[in-house]
Chain A
Amino acid sequence: MWQELKTQLKPALAMLAWMTLLLGIGYPLLMTGLAQALFHRQANGSLMREGERIIGSELIGQPFVGDGYFWGRPSATSPTPYNAAASTGSNLGPTNPALTEAVEKRIAALRAAEAGAASPVPVDLATASASGLDPDITPAAALYQAPRVARARGLSEEAVRRLIQDHGKPRTLGLFGEPRVNVLELNLALDKLAAGK
């Protein structure tokens, strides 16, 4: 065995060096060049701007707590929700009392804001997302909040409902993924609608 190890040592080290150069430097650099040239916006985080100011990414959720905005999924990131520099889920197990308590509080908060009163809460609105940055809620979760948002904004429920419908994303090609609404886009559209009222 020692003889074999000795003869293979030099090729092993040389191979590692050249492969590192090819796969660790060459390949990522080439991909970055291509990505920046062909898909500049996506490659840099699909950032949204207002003039020069970056106001978020269309792929990354933001925290919303006011009655006049749609709320997103609960986020388990720390130290603040929707910390996009420290993605994480809650990792609470299904029988952990901490999970039941958290969900109970969220339901109480939703009902206190008089959003949909006592009807059952869409499950995504009461449970933390996997990334803590989920940009979407289900159409049901948006609709559940429509009465509260309409009241806070002084808009008709019908207008808010139309807004949800316009910003809802169906399954891709009618097949893939789940129907959803991007909360940041929806809230920006809501601001626009309320401003033009």
Chain B
Amino acid sequence: MTVMGVTQILIYLAALVALAKPLGAYMARVYEGSPLWLEKAFGPIERLIYRLSGIDPRAEMAWRTYAAAMLLFNLAGMAVLYLLLRMQGRLPLNPQHMGAMRPDTAFNIAASFSTNTNWQNYSGEASLSYLTQMAGLTVHNFLSAATGMAILAALIRGLKRRLCATVGNFWFDLVRGTLYILLPLSLAFALFLVSQGVVQTFRPYARAALVEGGQPQTIALGPAASQIAIKQLGTNGGGFFNANSAHPFENPTPLSNFFEVLAILVISAALCHTLGEMVGDARQGWALLAAMMIVFVGLLAVCLWAEQAGNPRLAALGVDPRALEAEGGDPLWTQAGGNMEGKETRFGIANSVLWATATTAASNGSVNSMHDSYTPLGGLIPMLMMQLGEVIFGGVGSGLYGMLLFVIVTVFLAGLMVGRTPEYLGKKIGAYEMKMASLGILVPALLVLGGTALGVMNASALAGRANPGAHGLSEILYAFSSMANNNGSAFAGLDANRPFYNLLGGMAMLIGRYWVAIPTLAIAGSLARKRTVPQGPGTLPTHGPLFVCLLIAVVLIVGALTFLPALALGPIVEQLRMMGG
């Protein structure tokens, strides 16, 4: 760990916490329907969309109606994206003449982008037309994010309302989340990214005569900035180019990197404060943010240590892995050192590791370094982050509602210990809520381990591995951890564009998304109908350090109990072999 590296990480954490309060308070106003300054600009568009779609945004919905609207909207979007991918060869804005995607590939992409996963079994610059990137993927980057935030808004209303049969209006939440949060932030962010060198053009790929001669270089271009802004903000993560945010046209400078990695977590972190604002007790939000932050910083430190230590096998060959800062007083003897395989020079170790941890803590999944080439222990951290269920920040909306499922389990456990009925924010937690929360927590875990087990028994799945031995198992385990938890990053050596991964993975993404979302809405509906009980001497306060510790323990114990055996066979055994020489 270098001084400059740690300094950059501390600045990052400070910026994240500083933004949580103002952005969180603003988002609370968006979902409460309070007047907003931005309504001057976007109000007419908002009203026009409601009118053209025949929607009364103030019509309250019971949770089943809310869920039906959400599911239908997502299903329709998925179907349209599938058709777009199949027909892109015959549609305009296709200067490189990209052809149709295979049916199994197209199904996987459609499932991936409509579930906010953005797992990519294709290479953007080699297979997608500009129209598909814009009208297909960019749209889903917005809508899947807005969907996650809407479900969270419904759950918060469920916590807050008393004796009420409804949880809000899905269309109202969807449109306001898009128009007043995601779109304005994306507009500003995209323009900033272009100023740094991210491309935004409809021109065909450029051809450059190389300085040293030989074959000219074809340089892929496209309308990238508009998509990258929302792919970071909406915890989507699907790269415009194959190398994602490691590609210099997606992430050209240290400044673009700082703001892109900030964008990964900023909305998810701020939503904790939105919860606190909306339930009228800011401490509740800060407690959840504190729990997330503690797990994040702890795992980040492990990853940073592992990657900065580097690969002893390469050091033995004569590589210098030390971090040098003007060694011997010579300013030119400077390098980040560490494990630089699959990392970019401008980011070095600290910025690569910070990104890897943030992108898997959130269900973003964009990468600025190649996780497959991390040291075994360094690569274990992103994998574990996903396996914890994407609740350490997590996806926008989905991260916090996932964390609230863990909160329900935590108050239930605490209630068992002291023999009281569990409560959260004045609502009694009953058997129904516990059942739904357990479903939401256990189903993704089952998909990860079940999918991996099927993978290691399938010849085609095994043939997709790029690395031998324990690392090959890690590739398959990482793939299902990523898809079932809607993350989208990969140990990208795995050749996943095979019917096995496309079909099983596509199903895992759909089940992992909606089998958590629907129980969450069911809980919202059930809590909204309940009365609030006054706090008594037996009430466990859910804003203090004791609760934060309990919550962290529950998240880690569930994650560790479920995945430790699998991790032992993958990254842990590989780390031991690497250290052993």
**Minimum Cβ distance to chain B for residue A7 (Å):** 8
Q: Does B206 contact A (CB under 8 A)?
A: yes
The tally of residues in B whose CB lies under 8 Å from a CB in A reads 136
Within B342-387, which residues are at the interface with A (CB < 8 Å)? Answer: 342-348, 351-352, 367-370, 372-376
A149 at the interface (CB under 8 A from B): no
On whether the beta carbons of B191 and A120 are closer than 8 Å, the reply is no
Contact of A93 with B370 in the complex, beta carbons under 8 Å? no
**Minimum C-beta distance from A132 to chain B (A):** 7
CA distance A35 to B469 in the complex (A): 47
Write out, one digit per residue, whether chain A residues 113-134 have a CB within 8 A of any chain B CB (1) or not (0): 0000011111110111111111
A11 is an interface residue with CB less than 8 A from chain B: yes
Q: Is the CB of B76 within 8 A of A23?
A: no
Q: Does B190 contact A (CB under 8 A)?
A: yes
B183 partner residues in chain A, CB cutoff 8 A:
23, 27
Q: Does A92 contact B (CB under 8 A)?
A: yes
- In chain A, positions 75-126 with a C-beta closer than 8 Å to chain B are 80, 82-97, 99-100, 103-104, 107, 118-124, 126
A20-B139, A96-B471 as given contacts; A177 in contact with B253, CB under 8 Å = yes
Which of B159-167, B238-246, B277-285, B529-537 makes up part of the contact surface?
Answer: B238-246
Q: Is the CB of B125 within 8 A of A85?
A: yes
Inter-chain CA distance A92–B343, complex, in Å, is 12
Question: Is B498 positioned at the interface, with any CB of A under 8 Å from its CB?
Answer: no
Return A15 CB to nearest CB of chain B, in Å: 5
Interface residue B332 (Cβ < 8 Å from any Cβ of A): yes
How many angstroms between the C-alpha atoms of A128 and B246 in the bound complex? Answer: 12
Cβ-defined partner of B65 (8 Å) among A8, A27, A83: A8
Contact call B471/A95, Cβ cutoff below 8 A = yes
Tell me if B195 is interfacial: C-beta within 8 Å of chain A: yes
CB–CB A107/B318 < 8 A? yes
- The B53-106 residues at the A interface (CB cut-off 8 A) are 53-55, 64-65, 67-69, 71-73, 76-77, 80
Q: Once the chains bind, are B68 and A1 in contact (CB under 8 Å)?
A: yes
**A59 shortest CB reach to chain B, Å:** 4
Question: What are the residues of chain B within 8 A of A64 when measuring CB–CB?
Answer: 211-212
How many interface contacts (CB-CB < 8 Å) are there between A and B?
413
B29 at the A/B interface (Cβ < 8 Å)? no
Decide yes or no whether B8 CB sits under 8 A from chain A.
yes
A25 near B: Cβ within 8 Å? yes
Q: How far is the CB of B182 from chain A (nearest CB, A)?
A: 9
Q: Which of B174, B242, B368 counts the most chain A CB atoms within 10 A? A: B242
Query: Is A89 touching B492 in the complex (CB atoms < 8 A)?
Result: yes
The B-contacting residues of A in range 1-38, CB under 8 angstroms, are: 1, 4-5, 7-16, 18-20, 22-25, 27-28, 30-32, 34-36, 38
- The contact string, 1 if C-beta is below 8 Å from chain A, for chain B 224-242, is 0111000000000000011
B420 is an interface residue with CB less than 8 A from chain A: no
CB contacts (< 8 Å) of B339 on chain A: these are: 94, 123, 127
Scoring A1, A45, A122 by chain B CB atoms within 10 A of each residue's CB, the highest score goes to A45
**Residues on A with beta carbons closer than 8 Å to the beta carbon of B341:** 89-90, 92, 94, 99, 127-128
Q: Does A155 contact B (CB under 8 A)?
A: no
Interface pair B319/A121, CB less than 8 Å apart: yes
Q: How far is the CB of A135 from chain B (nearest CB, A)?
A: 6
How far is it, in angstroms, between the C-alpha of A93 and the C-alpha of B574 when the chains are bound?
A: 10
State whether B190 touches A31 (Cβ < 8 A).
yes
Given that A84-B218, A87-B241 are known contacts, is A1 also in contact with B64, CB under 8 Å in the complex?
Answer: yes
B514: Cβ under 8 A from any A Cβ: no
A187 cross-chain contacts in B, Cβ below 8 A: 211
Are B313 and A95 neighbours in the complex by a CB distance under 8 Å?
yes
Q: Are B491 and A11 in contact (CB under 8 A)?
A: no
Q: Please name the residue on chain A nearest to B475 by beta carbon.
A: A93
Asked if A123 contacts B340 (CB within 8 A), the reply is yes
Given known contacts A35-B200, A140-B334, A171-B4, A8 and B342 CB-to-CB distance under 8 angstroms: no
Interface segment, B130-138, B290-298, B455-463? B130-138
Q: What distance in Å separates the Cβ of B313 from its nearest Cβ neighbour in chain A?
A: 6
B221 in contact (CB, < 8 A): yes
- B541 on the A face (CB < 8 A): no
A150 at the interface (CB under 8 A from B): no
Q: Take A16-B73, A55-B211 as given contacts and tell me if A132 and B243 are in contact as well, using a CB distance cutoff of 8 Å.
A: yes
Is A65's CB under 8 angstroms from B212's CB? Answer: yes
Taken together as a complex, chains A and B put the C-alpha atoms of A136 and B352 apart, in Å, by 15
> Counting CB contacts under 8 A, is B546 at the interface?
no
The answer to whether B578 touches A95 (Cβ under 8 A) is yes
Interface contact B195-A84, CB-CB below 8 Å? no
From B52, which residue of chain A is reached at the shortest CB distance? A18
Given contacts A9-B72, A28-B227, A57-B219, 12 further A-B contacts (CB under 8 A): A8-B68, A8-B73, A22-B45, A86-B125, A86-B126, A94-B471, A95-B376, A107-B319, A136-B345, A140-B334, A178-B348, A180-B346
Binding site for A on B (CB under 8 A): 4, 7-8, 11, 45, 49, 52-55, 64-65, 67-69, 71-73, 76-77, 80, 123, 125-126, 134-136, 138-139, 142-143, 171, 174-175, 178, 183, 186-187, 190-191, 194-203, 205-212, 214-215, 217-221, 223, 225-227, 241-243, 246-249, 252-255, 257-258, 310-311, 313-314, 317-321, 324, 327, 330-348, 351-352, 367-370, 372-376, 466-471, 474, 491-493, 574, 577-578
Please, could you name 6 A-B residue pairs with CB atoms under 8 Å apart, sorted by A?
Answer: A46-B197, A65-B212, A90-B341, A139-B335, A140-B327, A168-B331
A-B interface, 7 closest residue pairs, ranked by CB to CB distance from nearest: A177-B254, A91-B493, A130-B246, A120-B320, A24-B135, A178-B348, A93-B471
